[in-house]
């Protein structure tokens, strides 16, 4: 009650700020406005911040503050006005805070999502028998599934317009990993995105400046107002971008655990159900996999190191003589391969390309073993401007960071814990993660050869390798990384990587 009262006082204060210019005789109030039907959703476009803003939005803030349900047209009007610059940030921040405390009903979330999608350009593709599919992850440490998955899906007869993002904090972004490849272009014009998807079958790039501009502005406000954890706002942010890809099917990896955005299985389940339900209602066949992020995925964490492991995952075993990759990369852990195949299998079933998950997984595994996805990966790199000769030279190196230091096990036994959050924090301290959105990354630093829970280790054996810019950074990281590992006399109980799968189902208010 005290918190709600505080929020109410804050909202009233912001409302007072909105009308203060008129009360104080602001000389610009009532001037410099464009009137008429095309002058904005309320018929007037304030030209300066000190002018009186349309009372309509204030009434919508008040309505949501009181827990009322907004009409779809009202939600659409809010998004359109904010995107056009007709709503000041302080009023939109008040609205976001009201949503954070009061939530949104499913119809409101749907309206918000579609309005955000329609705030900019939507990808259009020609008629083609190959379904348009994608995968989204809520993020984690070592989460590199998108890299081997995209070319695998292309080889399975899909088109994959994978519009990805960058990392913030300890979670790594797909675009950051791809940026570590010499010459690779992640910022492409819309026409080129379509060309690569149609020609190669997959593309991995960032959203264009004209795609979902409403989300960019809203997320920036959420990030500085403490409203990022709002599930309705998360759902709208994720799905507005995915719906802008014009997909036929989507698989969403919702992570939970110590290094995940959702710390508990219960919260991850709530988010997964909301995402799957709305996406299906919007015409995209969607499933959500709830996966554990207490331990890093795979054996590497850090941008270039994760590219190397992804290529190792794509390389048939035993490696062909033509490949110079797997001789130098850390072996890909089975969890990376398993989750990659699981995502592919679900999409095969969702699009009617396989009769069951077992059959679909075998189909995906056979395709991966054929080596065709590795060829497709190289084809995608070339299409997006990569310098393949420089890329191959870089792959042939054991490491590209100046200093590599092993973390030695203090005793013998079995790894019982490898804390993904600590690993992520170490990478950020090494320079491989962002403290702010403007941080400059060192793509070569990170951690590889990570031992996983359940694996045996002898005293003095390496638990992991640290890749650092200098020796002092490596030593500091080594001290910090020790806290991530526990060793026990007996192996720990196995924890399934995929905790649950969520199909579309009815839900209440969000």
C-alpha dist (Å) from residue 486 to 347, 394, 436, 452, 489: 37, 33, 31, 11, 10
Least reliable range by pLDDT among 148-162, 209-223, 358-372, 430-444: 430-444
Alpha-carbon span 277 to 488, nearest angstrom: 42
Confidence of residue 17 (pLDDT cuts 50, 70, 90): very low
What is the CB neighbour count within 10 angstroms for residue 404? 15
This prediction has a pTM of 0.85
Token pair 């004209």 is at which residue?
210
Token pair 């995107």 is at which residue?
83
Q: What is the 3-state secondary structure (H, E, C) of 225-241?
A: HCCCCCHHHHHHHHHHH
**2-117: CATH, from 3.40.640.10, 1.20.970.10, 3.40.50.620, 1.10.3720.10:** 1.20.970.10
**Residue 335: alpha-carbon gap to chain centroid:** 19
Helix ranges, 411-470 (H): 420-430
Confidence of residue 20 (pLDDT cuts 50, 70, 90): very low
**In the chain, what are the domain boundaries?**
2-117, 133-394, 403-488
pLDDT in tens, 252-297: 999 999 999 899 999 999 999 999 999 999 999 999 999 999 999 9
Q: Are 137 and 143 in contact (CB under 8 A)?
A: yes
What's the DSSP call for residue 510? -
Alpha-carbon span 122 to 84, nearest angstrom: 18
What is the CB neighbour count within 10 angstroms for residue 30? 13
Active-site amino acid positions = 134-137, 174, 222, 237, 241-242
Name the fold adopted by 403-488.
Answer: Aldehyde Oxidoreductase; domain 3 (3.90.1170)
pLDDT in tens, 62-77: 999 999 999 999 999 9
What's the DSSP call for residue 459? T
Q: Are 94 and 82 in contact (CB under 8 A)?
A: no
What is the CB neighbour count within 10 angstroms for residue 66? 10
| pLDDT in the model for residue 338 | 97
Kindly list the strands in the beta sheet with 133-137, ordered across the sheet, starting from the edge strand earlier in the chain: 133-137, 249-256, 285-292, 498-502
Alpha-carbon span 505 to 269, nearest angstrom: 12
| pLDDT in the model for residue 97 | 96
How much of the chain, in percent, has pLDDT values that exceed 90? 77
Q: Is the pLDDT of residue 415 over 90?
A: yes
Alpha-carbon span 270 to 257, nearest angstrom: 14
Which residue has better confidence, 192 or 223? 192
Of 142, 146, 28, 12, nearest in space to 90 by CA: 12
What's the DSSP call for residue 70? P
Give the pLDDT mean for 480-498: 96
Q: Are 164 and 207 in contact (CB under 8 A)?
A: no
Confidence of residue 332 (pLDDT cuts 50, 70, 90): low
What is the CB neighbour count within 10 angstroms for residue 385? 14
Chain mean pLDDT for the chain? 87
Q: Are 259 and 301 in contact (CB under 8 A)?
A: no
Burial class (CB in 10 A: 0-12, 13-18, 19+), 490: exposed
Alpha-carbon span 243 to 238, nearest angstrom: 9
pLDDT in tens, 73-127: 999 999 999 999 999 999 999 999 999 999 999 999 999 999 999 999 999 999 9
Q: Are 326 and 472 in contact (CB under 8 A)?
A: no
Q: Are 130 and 200 in contact (CB under 8 A)?
A: no
What's the DSSP call for residue 345? H
What's the DSSP call for residue 170? T
**133-394: CATH, from 3.40.1030.10, 3.30.160.110, 3.30.70.2190, 3.90.180.10:** 3.40.1030.10
């Amino acid at each position: 009650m005290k918190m709600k009262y505080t929020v109410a006082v804050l909202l009233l204060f912001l409302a007072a700020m909105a009308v203060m210019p008129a009360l104080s005789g602001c000389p610009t109030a009532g001037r410099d406005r464009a009137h008429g039907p095309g002058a904005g959703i309320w018929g007037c476009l304030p030209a300066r911040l000190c002018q009186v803003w349309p009372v309509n939005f204030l009434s919508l803030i008040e309505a949501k503050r009181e827990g009322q349900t907004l009409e779809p047209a009202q939600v659409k009007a809010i998004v359109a006005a904010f995107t056009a610059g007709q709503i000041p940030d302080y009023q939109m921040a008040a609205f976001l805070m009201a949503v954070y405390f009061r939530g949104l009903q499913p119809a409101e979330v749907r309206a918000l999502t579609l309005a955000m999608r329609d705030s900019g350009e939507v990808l259009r593709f020609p008629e083609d028998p190959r379904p348009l599919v994608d995968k989204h992850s809520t993020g984690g440490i070592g989460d590199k599934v998108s890299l081997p998955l995209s070319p695998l899906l292309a080889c399975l007869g899909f088109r994959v317009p994978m519009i990805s993002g960058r990392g913030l904090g300890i979670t790594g972004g797909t675009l950051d990993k791809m940026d570590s490849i010499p010459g690779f272009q992640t910022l492409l014009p819309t026409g080129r995105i379509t060309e690569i998807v149609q020609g190669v079958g997959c593309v991995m790039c960032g959203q264009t400046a004209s795609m979902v501009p409403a989300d960019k502005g809203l997320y920036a406000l959420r990030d500085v107002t403490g409203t990022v954890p709002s599930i309705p706002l998360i759902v709208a942010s994720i799905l507005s971008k995915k719906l802008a890809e014009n997909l036929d099917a989507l698989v969403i990896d919702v992570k939970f655990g110590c290094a995940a955005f959702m710390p508990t299985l219960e919260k991850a389940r709530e988010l997964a159900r909301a995402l799957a339900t709305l996406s299906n209602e919007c015409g995209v066949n969607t499933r959500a996999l709830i996966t554990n992020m207490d331990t890093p995925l795979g054996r590497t964490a850090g941008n270039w190191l994760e590219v190397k492991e992804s290529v190792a995952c794509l390389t048939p075993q035993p490696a062909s003589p033509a490949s110079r990759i797997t001789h130098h990369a850390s072996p890909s852990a089975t969890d990376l391969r398993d989750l990659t195949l699981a995502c592919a299998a679900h999409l095969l079933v969702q699009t009617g390309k396989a009769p069951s998950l077992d059959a679909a997984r075998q189909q995906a595994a056979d395709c991966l073993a054929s080596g065709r996805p590795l060829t497709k990966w190289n084809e995608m790199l070339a299409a997006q401007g990569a310098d393949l000769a420089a890329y191959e030279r870089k792959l042939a190196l054991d490491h590209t960071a100046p200093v590599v230091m092993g973390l030695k096990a203090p005793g013998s036994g079995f790894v019982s814990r490898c804390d993904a959050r600590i690993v992520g924090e170490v990478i950020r301290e090494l320079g491989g993660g962002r403290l702010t959105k403007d941080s400059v990354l060192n793509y070569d630093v990170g951690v590889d050869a990570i031992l996983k829970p359940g694996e045996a280790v002898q005293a003095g054996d390496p638990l992991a390798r640290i890749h650092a810019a200098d020796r002092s950074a490596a030593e500091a990281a080594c001290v910090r990384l020790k806290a991530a590992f526990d060793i026990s006399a007996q192996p720990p109980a196995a924890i399934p990587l995929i905790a649950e799968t969520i199909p579309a189902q009815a839900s209440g208010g969000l």
